[in-house]
Chains A and B, each alone.
Chain A
Amino acid sequence: MTAVPAPVLAGSDSPHGPRPSVPGIPLRTQGDDAAAPERGKGSVQSLSSTGFRNLQLTRHALHPRLNLIAGPNGQGKTNVLEALALVSGRVSFRTSELLDTLAPGHREAAITVGTEAGVLAASLVEGKRAQLLEGRRITRAVAARHLPIVFLTGSDLTRLAGGPADRRRALDRLAAVLVPGYTAAYSRYEKARASRNRLLSGRRSPDADELSVYEDALAQSGASLVAGRRAAAARLSPALSREAAHLSSPYAPLVLSVQNDLGSLPESAVEAELRSRFLEGRSRERAAGRTLTGPHRDDVLLLADGNLDVATRASAGESRTLLLAWTLAEVALLTEALSRTPVLAFDDFDSEWDRTALAHFAEALPLDGQILLTSARPETVQSLPLGDGLLHRMEKGRITGTEALGAIRSRRLYSV
């Protein structure tokens, strides 16, 4: 194995020039930077992780374009993507319980990513998560804007055929970027819902005025969620139709439709309608001990050709092609909204996917985006037109070797 030392990246042309400083925030150098590998020039320039699952990475440099993380199963490849999810402000795609992600014997974890705008970090301390930019606390929404990443992992495979939650979350992620104020409305809604649920499920019969306080908050923020989802679906639908056509999907045109019992009620009337539903639902919901109506129960259906629910008709292969199309559409919309190409993080890219669809998918990706793929069979990357990059060999949570992808390609091609 020819290990290519990471400093080679220092000589590559930077499309962005020198790293700018964030106004008002002094650039922090961490420890002995001179001894550290030079940062790459992609969105994720380097990655460090301690205490998070089995990962032990110290400022590991990534290629600005293509990175293939390879190794047998169970070595920590998916953990790398999950770590990036946390740094970029997302929830983990594997667990809602962050304590589960700590390495045995660790009480805290820290993940840091070197980016063009500075060091982004996520820390898990006492079961709580903090997002940081250059050592300062930021919100998850700000982290998501600093490091936009579109993920495609095993947990997405059931998006079309599974329950509404995954589709709703996928739409919400997009709305969070496309619709101003969406994230704030979402967190307000969830806090108010948790409070109202607690009042409904308590032993004491709840104070009507106190319930009203949380119902007002639910109605206000809920109306913003309804409007935001409608707006995001309206943007996603044409992009999805376009990408599905590129991937030769038989389903067209596609429309994402937010399904709830509000029907086509105009946005201006949604808040009042929600408020009266919460009020009317009190006794029924007191019996159930929770809030039974509202945008947290919305479904998002993918409809083709008018009103055919694609999930009921599509084969497994067709569903996967649509998932690839959804991913391309997400990349395109984020690129447009943020004026920069998001990172694509694709877990186990060669396991479940049709080769032809995958090749078309790769062709359709923007040329300037950074890509992270994981695989147990790295040679399959040869067939994808993705340009140059690095292969990172992963063993027991560590990167044990890095080599140019071109090298393995030529070796495989010529040494038969």
Chain B
Amino acid sequence: MAALPSFDRLMAALERLPGIGPKSARRMGHALLSMGEAEAEALVSSITEARSRTRTCSICRSLTEEDPCRVCTDPTRDARLLAVVEDAADVEVLEKTREFRGRYHVLGGALAPLRGIGPDDLHVDGLLSRVASDGVEEVLLATNPNVEGEATALYLARRLKPMGPRVTRLALGLPVGAALEFADEVTLSRSLTGRREI
């Protein structure tokens, strides 16, 4: 096969996306190259635009085009209830249920000693100062129902409980090892209503 260094670079870049293996990267690479000129331009500019317009909310660390984000500034959202999630994408997952009326805090990952990720690598301090000063009465730990997410929830519970708020956990009927984003909306809504105290 002819050497295709530029195509190889494209595939390598695609492979770094979550859930994309070498086979999908190759298929996506070919699809991108066979796109019409205008379509490809639109894709490139949508990436550039999204990158330049979005930022992380300085309060909750979720993805936003205005800082602070709409959830943080919405007066109808319940400021006494705070949901802690691992990633900004999880905020959208919970928002889709329309069940959760509190605010969010994005950790930016989960504790994973084996991969060298500790509390200092996550937005834990920001969470603690929000709970200390913002009149938060309940912290809902909505980290993923896998080993790392559970450990993170238990760690945060240890840090938060002495500060006084009720600390709860999503009661997910998900198989252990799953991630929040794979839960359907009905399951998530149910787990939001059935959350339990840690």
* A binding-site residues for B, Cβ under 8 Å: 191, 194-196, 198-199, 202, 204, 207, 209-210, 212-214, 216-217
B24 to chain A, nearest CB (A): 16
B155 touches A213 (CB 8 A): yes
Q: Are B155 and A204 touching (Cβ within 8 A)?
A: no
Sample (20) of A-B pairs whose CB atoms are under 8 Å apart: A194-B113, A194-B114, A196-B113, A198-B113, A198-B114, A198-B116, A199-B118, A202-B113, A204-B118, A207-B118, A207-B119, A209-B119, A209-B158, A210-B155, A213-B151, A213-B154, A213-B155, A214-B151, A216-B154, A217-B151
Q: For residue A209, which residues in chain B have a CB less than 8 angstroms away from its CB?
A: 119, 155, 158-159
Q: Does B40 sit within 8 A of A, measured CB to CB?
A: no
Query: CA A204 – CA B114 in complex, angstroms?
Result: 14
For A199, A207, A212, A216, which residue has the most chain B Cβ atoms within 10 angstroms? A207
Contact: B151 with A195, CB < 8 Å? yes
CB within 8 Å of A: which of B141-163? 147, 151, 154-155, 158-159
Q: How far is the CA of A202 from the CA of B154 in the complex (A)?
A: 21
Alpha-carbon distance between A216 and B158 when the two chains are bound, in angstroms: 12
Asked if B84 is at the interface (CB within 8 A of a chain A CB), the reply is no
Q: Is B83 an interface residue (CB 8 A)?
A: no
CA distance A21 to B118 in the complex (A): 48
- Is B114's CB under 8 angstroms from A210's CB? no
Identify the closest chain B residue to A208 (Cβ).
B158
Residue B111 CB within 8 A of the other chain: yes
* B interface residue numbers (CB < 8 A to A): 111, 113-114, 116, 118-120, 147, 151, 154-155, 158-159
CB of A123 to closest CB in B, whole Å: 15
Closest to B111 in A: A210
Q: CA of A209 to CA of B153 in the docked complex: distance in angstroms?
A: 12
A199 surroundings in chain B (CB, below 8 A): 113, 118
Number of residue pairs A-B, CB distance < 8 angstroms? 38
Give complex CA distance A196, B151 in Å. Answer: 12
- Min C-beta distance of A354 to chain B, whole Å: 47
A212: chain B residues within 8 A (beta carbon): 158
A contact face: mostly helix, strand, loop, or mixed? helix
Complex Cα spacing A319 to B159, Å: 54
Q: Counting chain B CB atoms within 10 Å of each CB, which of A195, A212, A213, A217 scores highest? A: A213
Please report the C-alpha to C-alpha distance between residue A24 and residue B37 in the assembled complex, in whole angstroms: 47
Closest chain A residue to B158 by CB distance? A209
Residue of B nearest to A191 (CB): B147
In the complex, the 5 A-B pairs of residues with the closest C-beta atoms, listed nearest first: A198-B113, A195-B113, A209-B158, A213-B154, A213-B155
Q: Which residues of A contact B147 (CB under 8 A)?
A: 191
B116 contacts across to A, CB distance below 8 A = 198, 202
Shortest Cβ gap from B23 to chain A (Å): 13
Inter-chain contact A213/B158, CB cutoff 8 Å? yes
Q: Which residues of B have CB within 8 Å of A214?
A: 113, 151
A70 to chain B minimum Cβ distance, whole angstroms, is 42
A88 to B142, CA, bound (A): 36
B-chain residues with CB within 8 Å of residue A213 when the two chains form the complex: 111, 151, 154-155, 158
Q: Which residues of B contact A198 (CB under 8 A)?
A: 113-114, 116
Bound form: Cα–Cα A198–B159 in Å: 21
Q: Is the CB of A195 within 8 A of B155?
A: no
**C-alpha spacing A210/B148, complex, angstroms:** 12
Additional A-B contact list (7), CB under 8 Å, known A195-B114, A199-B118: A191-B147, A194-B114, A209-B119, A209-B155, A209-B158, A210-B113, A213-B111
Residues of A contacting B155 with CB < 8 Å?
A: 209-210, 213
Q: What's the nearest-Cβ distance from chain B to residue A138, in Å?
A: 13
Partner of B119, one of A194, A195, A210: A210
User: In chain B, what residue has the closest Cβ to A206?
Assistant: B118
Contacts of A210 in B (CB 8 A): 111, 113, 118-119, 155
In whole angstroms, what is the CA distance A212 to B120 when docked? Answer: 16
In the assembled complex, the Cα of A216 lies from the Cα of B119 at a distance in Å of 18
A196: chain B residues at CB < 8 Å are 113
**Across-interface contacts of B111 in A (CB, < 8 A):** 210, 213
Alpha-carbon distance between A399 and B119 when the two chains are bound, in angstroms: 56
Determine how close the nearest CB of chain B comes to the CB of A107; give it in whole angstroms. 12
Most chain A beta-carbon neighbours within 10 Å: one of B113, B119, B120, B158: B113
Chain B residues with CB under 8 A of A216: 154
Once the chains are docked, how many angstroms separate the CA of A199 from the CA of B119? Answer: 12
A213 CA to B114 CA in the complex, in Å?
14
